[in-house]
Structure 1
C-alpha cells in the first residue's frame, strides 16, 4: 500500500509529525492520511472513493489528532468544538440505545454513529485516545450511507488510529481541575515483515464542577495490519471501553403545559446543584470490531470489503427532573435501566477508473447490509422526590442511595422489549470529468428496509424500498487551487407506525388503529467555493445550503399525521491551516435558520428545538517560537461563541431562551523532540452557560489542565 508523508508544523510535537526539512520520521508512514498542520486533505469517506477535496462537491470538516493533542482534549465534545456549525445539545445520559451525546448540525440533531465508515452505536461517550481524525460530513448523506445512521444535517465519522510499519509510540498524562487524572499510551510495533500491531489505551477519572457526579473509564484499542502481498492488505481494529459514571439529572421543561419560567436566573442559582449522589451510578460498556480487506484488482480497479460488529450495554440508574409548571417544582423520575444494542454491518465496494471515449470516469459500486438489534430491560419509572429550584430543596435528598432507590423500585415492574431491523442496499456513484477542470457526480441508492424503524418501536413497519439520489458539479477556475461547487443531496428516514385513536365530533373514542407512514425525505441543494492557498498550507471553504424535509411525521395521541415540513437554510465558512512556520489556525462561522413550515399545531413558524443557536463561532490559534532564547515555547488562544437560542419553542406552550455565550481558552507550552509540556485553561472567565433541547443543562466552569507527553 502506498505510503504518504505526514508533515505538520504544530505546537505540540508528537511521534507522528514529519520534520520540517521533509525528512521522514519512520513512525510517520501512515496509510492514506496527508496532514499539513491542521489540514487533513482528500478524505474519501464523504463519497467512499479517493477524491481530492477541491474536486469534491460535498462539504466536510475534519479534526485531526494534532488538534486533539495540542488543545489537551480529554473528551469528545471538546474535540467537536473545532468543527464549524456544530454544538452539543444533550450530554450523554448512558441509557440504552440512545444514551450517547446529541449534537446539532445544519439545524438537525445527530449522534456520532460511524467508526471508519461503518455503523457503531454507543450509549456513552467516545474516548479520543484512539482517534486519528474526526470527520463531520455535512448534509443529508442518505445516498451512500442509508437512513439509519445519518441525520438530515450530516453525520460524524470517527477514523481510528491504524498500525504503521515501524516501532514507535508515546505516553501522556493529564492532571487537572475537578479531580481530572488521565493516562494514555500509544504503542506500535512490527511483529514480522508483513504483520504490524498497534495498541491505544486510556484510563480516565474526573469529578464535576457540581456537588456530585463523576466519570471513570478504561479504554483499549488493539489493531493489526497484515500485508498478504503487494495486492492484498488486511486490517482488524477493535475498541473496548468500560465506564461508570454518576450524572446529574437532565432538567426537562414541560413540553405539554404553558411555561412557568421567564428567566434563566433560577437555573443559574442552582448551577452547582446536581440533585443526585455518587452512589447512583450507571455502567456503559462497549465493544467494536472491524475487519477490512483491501485488494488491488488491477491498476485501475480496487476492492474494499468491510465487516463490523458493535455491542453496547447499559446497566444502572438514570434519572431526570420534570417540570411541574408551577414555577419551581420538578419531580425526579428514576429507573434502573438496562439495555443492549448490537449492530452488524457488511459492505463491499468496488472503485475504478475508466474512459468513455475521451471522458474520464471514476466509478463506485457498493453493496451494504446493516442489522440493528436492541434489547431493552430494567425497571419501570417511579417518582422519587420533588426538587424545588426556588428554595433549593429536595424531598428525597437523604434517599439518593442504591438501597433506598432499589426499595422504591421493587414494584416498578419490568420494561422488556426487543426491536430488530435489517436493511439491504446497493448504490452507485460516477464522477465524470467533462473537462480537466469540470466534473459532475451522479449517484443513486436503492434501499430495502424490514423490521422496526427505531429501537423503541412496538410494531414492525411495512417493508419499504427507497431511492435516494445525489448530484454534484465542480468547476475549478484555477486548477487544484480554487473550485466552485454545487450539490443536490437526499436523506431519508424510516418511521415507526403509530396507534391512533378514532374519535367522533364530541371527542369520544370510537376505536383505534395502527397507522403506517412512508419514509420521510430531506432534500438539500448547496452552492459554495473551496480554496487552497499558500502552497496548500491554508484552506478556506464557504457555502450556502437549503435543506427541505417533507412527509415529516408530527403530533401525538389522536393527532399523529404525516405531512409536516421543515426548512433549514444557512451559511458556513471554515478556515484552517498553517500560513507561516510555527503558526496554526482553525476558525469557523455558521448561520442557520431552521423553521417548521407545516405541521402540528403550535409548531409552524417556530424555529425547531433541535436546531440549536442560529450563530456559532469557533476559533483556535497557536504560535510556536522558531528561533532564539524562547525557541520551542508556544502560546495558544481561542474559544467558542453561540447566540441565544430557544431550548423550548412552541406556539401553544411558549418559548424559553438560553442566553448567548462566549467561552475563551488559552494554553502555554514547551516542546522538545521527545517531550512536551502544555498548560491549558478552559473557560477563562468562569462563565456560566447552558445547553439544551427542551432541557436546561449547566456546562463546565473554568478548568486548568497540565499535559505531560513523552514519545519514543
Structure 2
C-alpha cells in the first residue's frame, strides 16, 4: 500500500508541476485584502464580490479574501452580509498583478455575532480549528459538522451528549456508571479519550466536560490520523471555548429545571488595555435526578486573556477548572440477561457511593503572521485530572432456584475503590502557507506534535485486608433489598501504579488547486508512540516492581498514515470528492507470550458531495464510506501452554471487521429567523473474519494418568454480527424560528426530534455458544419543544424534553443498564449587558 501511494503521489506532483508551467503565463489579475470590524477585529464570512460580474467569495475566519482570475479593468468591489451595512469601493485590476484592498464595516465584532443569530453562515465555508489551517470544509475531502453556540444555547445543552445528538453519524453509546465519561460511537468505532479535544488539544472526558458555555463543537468525521496521532477511525470532536473581546459586555443567566436542577452562569468580557482583553465565565450546577438518590454538584470556571502584541502576533492564554461530584449509578441491571422493568428511577447502588473529580486545564496559544500568506501557530497545553471513586459495581442476576421456574434476581454488589491522578501535556507547532507554482495554488500545512501522560492509580484492600468485598447481594425484584446495610466498608490503599505514555508525530499536507474546479489534497504523517512498563509501589515496604512482559522493555509503536483526496467543484457551490486515509489503533493486552500487541492498521475510503443552495442559505451534504480493519484484536483461544485461555487480555490479531455507512447532513436558514439542522446516518459494522469453530485436544494430566487429555471446543465471534454498542440508524431534526416583526417580535419557537435505531448491548455471540448474551434494544424517538421571548437585553427560554415520555435504555456491554430520562422541563432566564 505504501509503494502504491508513493507512486501515485509522485505522479500527481508531476502533473501539478506540468500544469503549473502551462498556466504560468496567465494574463488575469486578482484582488485580495482584509475586512475588519469597527473595533479592529476580523470580519469573518462576509460576502465580497465585483459588481456586475460573477466573481464572488467570502472572507475567511481572519477576515481575508481573494478574488482570482479577474480580467484587467476597473470594478466596484462590494461587501455585504445579513445585518451589515453594505460597503463599496472602486478598484483597478492590472494583468498579472494583485490589487490589495483594506475595508472595514460599521459594525463591531459583537454586533456581527449578534446578527448571526438571525443570519446564516454556511458551514461549508467556515474552517474548523481541528483542521489546523484555514481550509473551508468545501475544499476538504472529508465530512465536517459544526454545532454553533446558537444551537447550544437554544437547546439549553448541559452535556456533550446534548450537543452531539445533533450530529448525524455520531451515536451515544452509554455512560458506564453515569460518571466515567460519556461514550460515543462514530461510524461504528468508539470515541475514546484520544478522540475528544478542547481548543485543539486532547481533553479528559472523565468528569463530563461543561458544554453549556462553549462557543461551538466541531466534528471532523472519519480518520483524522494525519493531523492527530492515536485516534480511532470514527471521528474527532473539538470543544471550542469562548474567547476575549476588545469591548465590554457579558451575560448572566439562571437555568432551572425538573428534579431540583439549578444552574446560574456569568460571562463577562472586555479590554484591559488597547492590546490586552479578558474573558471570565463561571457556572455552578446543583441537581437531583429522575434516578432515586442520584445527585450532581458542579463548579466550572473559564478565564482567558488575549494579548495582541502587534497586527502580526497575538498570544491567547486560556484556563478552566471543573469540580464535578456525581453519584455513581449503574442503572437497573439485568435478570437472566434480560432487562426487567423495575422502575425508571430505581436505584440499586450502595447509598454511600460517590465519584469526585477535579479537572484543571491551562493552554498557551501563540499566533504569528510572517505575511498574509505564511503563518505560524504554537500551542502548549497542560491538564490535570483527579478522580476519587468508591461504589458497588454493575448488577446482573443470573441465578435460578431449581424448584421455582421464575428467576429470583439475586446479584452480588462487589465494590470498587479507586484514586487516580492523571497529568497530560500536549505541544504543537503548525506552519501553514499559501503560495503558487505558476498558476497552481498550494495551501500547505506542516506540523509536529507531542503528547505525554503520567497516570498514577491506587490499589486497595477492604476491611480486614480483603482483596474483594461484596456490599451485599441484592434481589433486583425485591425493593426491600436495595438499600443494604448502609455501612461503607473501610478501604486501604496498599499499592500505587505509575503508567507513563509518550506520543509524538510530524506531518505534511498540501491542498493543491490545479484549477478553480479541480483540487488535490495529499499528506502523510509519521507517528511514534512509546508505552513504558508500569511501576508498582508497595506503600508499606516501599518496594517498586516493574510490570512483566516477554520482552521486559517498553512497548514501542510507529506508523506512517497517508491521506489522499480528489476534489471536483463544477460550481462554486458544489464540491464532489473521494478520499483514502489510514490510521493505526493501539491495541491493549498481550499475545500468548505476554509480548505487547502490534497496532491495528485501519483503511478508510470516503466519497461525498457538498452543496450550498439558495445563495448559501441551505447546505446539503451526503457522504458514503467504508472502513476496513484487517488486524482486529480478539481474545486468544489458547495460552502458551496450549490450555484454554480464560484471560481476556491475552489476544491475537487474526480478526477482520468492516464498517459501511452513509450520512446525510442538512443545515440552513431559508428565511430570516428560521434556523434548522437535520441529518440521517446508516452504519453497518460487523465481524467479517473470526476464528472458526475448532476442537482442540489439550493435556490434563493427573497423578494416576500423567498423559491424560481432554477436548476443548473454541471459536470466534459470529461473522456478520453487528458490533455491540454500534447503532444502525440515527436521525435528528431541529427547527427554531424567531419572529422578526409585529407584536410578536422576539418570540422564539423550536422543536427537535431525535431517532436512535436498534442496537445491541451485552456481548457479541461466539460460534460455540449454546445461548445468546446479546441484549437487543429497540429503536426509539424523543421529541423536545422550546418557546422563548427576547425583549431588549432580557430573554426567557423554556423547553419540555421527551414530550411523549418515551422509555428506553442505553446498555454498557457489561450490563450497566441506564434508562433514558423521562419527560422533563427546563428554563433559562438571561440578561445581556
Q: Same fold (TM over 0.5)?
A: yes
CA 321–330 in structure 1, closer or farther in 2 if over 3 Å, else same:
farther
Q: Which of 258, 275, 297 is equivalent to 1:216? A: 297
CA 54–5 in structure 1, closer or farther in 2 if over 3 Å, else same:
closer
Q: Deviations over 1:566-621 (max 9, x none)?
A: 11111000111111112111111001001011235342424444542201011110
Q: How does 1:247-326 map to 2 (within 5 A)?
A: 247-249=328-330, 260-262=336-338, 264=339, 266=340, 268-276=341-349, 279-326=352-399
1:49 maps onto 2:133 in alignment: yes
CA 164–251 in structure 1, closer or farther in 2 if over 3 Å, else same:
same
Q: Which of 750, 753, 773 is equivalent to 1:636? A: 750
Q: Which of 521, 527, 550 is equivalent to 1:447? A: 527
Q: Is the 8 A contact 1:593 1:607 kept in 2?
A: no
Q: Deviations over 1:186-212 (max 9, x none)?
A: 110100000000011110111110211
1:65 maps onto 2:149 in alignment: yes
Give secondary structure in 2 for the equivalent of 1:612: coil
Give secondary structure in 2 for the equivalent of 1:123: coil
Q: Give the TM-score, by structure 2 length.
A: 0.76
Q: Which of 423, 431, 438 is equivalent to 1:350? A: 431
CA distance in 2, matches of 1:465, 1:289: 29
Q: Give the TM-score, by structure 1 length.
A: 0.89
CA 151–373 in structure 1, closer or farther in 2 if over 3 Å, else same:
same
CA distance in 2, matches of 1:172, 1:307: 32
CA distance in 2, matches of 1:181, 1:286: 21
User: What residue is the counterpart of 2:244 in the other structure?
Assistant: 163
CA distance in 1, matches of 2:656, 2:533: 20
1:78 maps onto 2:155 in alignment: no
Q: Deviations over 1:201-234 (max 9, x none)?
A: 1101111102110111000000010001111100
Instruction: Tell me the CA shift for residue 19 of structure 1.
Output: 7.3
CA distance in 2, matches of 1:63, 1:632: 23
User: What residue is the counterpart of 2:481 in the other structure?
Assistant: 394
Give secondary structure in 1 for the equivalent of 2:141: coil
User: What residue is the counterpart of 2:705 in the other structure?
Assistant: none
Q: Is the 8 A contact 2:725 2:760 kept in 1?
A: no
User: What residue is the counterpart of 1:619 in the other structure?
Assistant: 733
CA 159–454 in structure 1, closer or farther in 2 if over 3 Å, else same:
farther
Q: Is the 8 A contact 1:421 1:453 kept in 2?
A: no
Instruction: Tell me the CA shift for residue 5 of structure 1.
Output: 4.9
Q: Which of 665, 668, 687 is equivalent to 1:596? A: 687
Q: Which of 822, 825, 829 is equivalent to 1:701? A: 822
Q: How does 1:365-444 map to 2 (within 5 A)?
A: 365-377=446-458, 379=460, 381-394=468-481, 397-400=483-486, 404-407=487-490, 409=491, 414=494, 416-444=496-524
CA distance in 2, matches of 1:6, 1:363: 22
Q: How does 1:541-690 map to 2 (within 5 A)?
A: 541-555=621-635, 558=645, 560-599=651-690, 601-648=715-762, 649-651=764-766, 652=769, 653-690=772-809
Instruction: Tell me the CA shift for residue 485 of structure 1.
Output: 1.0
Most deviating of 428-437 and 445-454: 445-454
Give secondary structure in 1 for the equivalent of 2:503: strand
CA distance in 2, matches of 1:523, 1:35: 41
Give secondary structure in 2 for the equivalent of 1:54: helix
CA 321–218 in structure 1, closer or farther in 2 if over 3 Å, else same:
same
Q: Deviations over 1:628-657 (max 9, x none)?
A: 222221211112111221112323343211
1:20 maps onto 2:83 in alignment: yes
Q: Which of 448, 468, 471 is equivalent to 2:564? A: 471
Task: Give the superposed CA RMSD.
Answer: 2.6
Q: Deviations over 1:345-384 (max 9, x none)?
A: 1111100012223311111110111101111115255222
Instruction: Tell me: higher relative CO, structure 1 or 2? Use CA pairs within 8 A at least 6 residues apart.
Output: 1
Q: Is the 8 A contact 2:331 2:819 kept in 1?
A: no
CA distance in 2, matches of 1:462, 1:681: 51
Instruction: Tell me the CA shift for residue 250 of structure 1.
Output: 5.0
Instruction: Tell me the CA shift for residue 52 of structure 1.
Output: 1.3
CA 29–275 in structure 1, closer or farther in 2 if over 3 Å, else same:
same
Q: State the aligned residue count.
A: 668
Q: Where does the alignment leave 5 or more consecutive residues of structure 1 unmatched? A: 8-17, 254-258, 501-512
Q: Deviations over 1:401-420 (max 9, x none)?
A: xxx2233x45xx64532111
CA distance in 2, matches of 1:464, 1:196: 43
CA distance in 1, matches of 2:534, 2:675: 43
User: What residue is the counterpart of 1:13 in the other structure?
Assistant: none
Q: Which of 266, 271, 280 is equivalent to 1:185? A: 266
Give secondary structure in 2 for the equivalent of 1:144: coil
User: What residue is the counterpart of 2:211 in the other structure?
Assistant: 128
